Copies of this chain bind each other. A is one copy, B any other.
Amino acid sequence: MQVSITSKPLMPWQELQNYQQQQTALYGQVGATTIFIGTMRDINEDVAVTQMELEHYPGMTEACLKQLVQQAVDKWHLLDVLIVHRVGLLKPNDPIVLVAVWSAHRAEAYAANRFLMEELKARAPLWKKETLSNQQTRWVEQNTPGHHDAD
């Protein structure tokens, strides 16, 4: 299990390849891997966005993500979990977050991944400040809550 916050560009495939190379103890046990990658769009609430600054609360963000992973592990049979979240300055198309779940069975891998993303969006202390095409900036007010949103 690993959570990390990084100010360096997030390269999901490389991150996953490197992380999976350490999983030798799981050989033959994994039946299902689910991955979510959140990426910066160049439009939000119908306004063009040119860049985004992601702020976090060093220490608490990591602690919060670890708690969420623990909740997921308590709830489902999971073999491994990886969460990586970007902070700092992002451009459109840059990956923001990576959530990967390894399990023997797909139902648990899907459910745990969704749970982690929803909880991360609801609870992890991270804030987005967007720069619009007219150079104005705005803080994103609130993530749409729960499982029924479409963000």
B41 with A29: CB separation less than 8 A:
yes
In the complex, are the beta carbons of B37 and A32 less than 8 A apart?
yes
Q: Is the CB of A27 within 8 A of B107?
A: no
Which residues of the other chain, B, contact A35 by a CB distance below 8 angstroms?
33-37
Please encode chain A, from 34 to 59, with 1 for each CB lying within 8 Å of some chain B CB and 0 for all others: 11111111110000000000000000
Q: Mark A1-36, 1 if CB is under 8 A from B, else 0.
A: 000000000000110110000000001111111111
Q: A41-B104, A105-B150, A106-B151 are in contact. Are A93 and B27 (CB under 8 A)?
A: yes
A positions within 8 Å CB-CB of B: 13-14, 16-17, 27-43, 92-93, 104-110, 113-114, 117, 147-151
